[in-house]
Amino acid sequence: MLRVTFLGTAASRPTVGRNVSSVAVQREGELMLFDCGEGTQRQMMRFGTGFNVGDIFLTHVHADHFLGVTGLLRTLALQDRAEPIRLWAPEGSAAIVWDAINLGRERVPFQVTVAELEPEQVIARTDFDIVAFPVRHGGRALGYALIERPRLGRFNPERARALGVPEGPLFGRLHKGEAVEVDGRMITPDQVVGTPRPGRRLVYSGDTRPARSTVAIAKGADLLIHDATFAEDEAERARLTGHSTAREAGELARAAGVTRLALTHVSARYADDPRPLEREARAAFRGAVVAWDGMEIEIPLQPGEDGEPPA
Ligand SMILES: [Zn+2]
Ligand SMILES: [Zn+2]
């Protein structure tokens, strides 16, 4: 399962219907937050993400992207959390993140780490990577990509048995790509295992002007979540404030050839009626949607026709 829940889709300040930036990503029982604007913890309750969050990736330390850390950590403490939590932020911003963690008299009773990330830094997990990439928002803002490793092709146990491979550890070794010897014969993985299936790719730009680095990392992504603060009539303001227009986001998504585009960081002017943004983005990328608080997107595994094991 790979599910994205938009917790906050407003730019800079909340509106009645939209909270400030945060995106929850649930993957195989793991919960990650990308940005954590003020009030994120309440959005997690409203939209049922649970609180089992292990990592918070901050794109930058503008207040609308990280002030929620203070309250969220207090709530986790009241829930008797014991597991550590890891916060990640661009180079040079750890001190500000620590201020948010330590604000108030209570001490956080579980382990908190804050790691600074350089652009292009990779956080490797068992079967996916989180890649920080540079964006254009002044200072050292980062975007993040969740990139799954290719999945093993499907294993055909009947075929393996027919070839005389005894059920047990040899099955696992073949599945992982190792040739094994059975009664003096070599059995190779391609006899019993399909080709690897591509992993999924999810890209979150954070606040940014359109950036080549975003196009590069979003190539073929299943979902791109991009800054679309303004419509075209405020293109100049977008340029001056380090944000994108909806049309720019649409053009970038088309250039990258992504499957889906969700627009976020919506200026208060469009909070109640984001249709102008959607229209402008769709002129470049059909199917673009302006995200709303509570919107969920499930990212399916890519069709596994090439993952079928040999018959
Ligand atoms: Zn912002
Ligand atoms: Zn910002």
pLDDT of residue 295: 98
Q: How confident is the model at residue 138 (pLDDT cuts 50, 70, 90)?
A: confident
- The catalytic position among 64, 207, 227, 293 is 64
Tokens of 116: 């600074």
- pTM, rounded to two decimals: 0.91
The conformation of residue 136, written as its DSSP 8-state character, comes to B
Q: Give distance in angstroms: CA of 243 to centre of ligand 2.
A: 8
Q: How confident is the model at residue 304 (pLDDT cuts 50, 70, 90)?
A: low
pLDDT of residue 118: 96
Our CA angle for 47, 50, 264, nearest 5°, is 45
What's the pLDDT tens digit per position in 14-40?
Answer: 999 999 999 999 999 999 999 999 999
What would you report as the CA-atom Rg of the chain, rounded to the nearest whole angstrom? 22
Residue 64 is a catalytic residue? yes
Q: How confident is the model at residue 197 (pLDDT cuts 50, 70, 90)?
A: confident
The residue type of 125 is R
Residue 13 main-chain phi, psi, to 5 deg: -145, 150
| pLDDT over threshold 60, residue 306 | no
Q: Give distance in angstroms: CA of 306 to centre of ligand 2.
A: 42
What's the pLDDT tens digit per position in 58-87?
Answer: 999 999 999 999 999 999 999 999 999 999
| Helical ranges in 4-48 per DSSP H | 40-46
**C-alpha distances in Å from residue 292, one per residue of 3, 19, 23, 144:** 15, 9, 11, 20
CB 114 within 8 A of CB 108: no
Q: Give distance in angstroms: CA of 14 to centre of ligand 2.
A: 14
Pick from 135, 146, 292: nearest CA to 205: 135
Tokens of 146: 């969740």
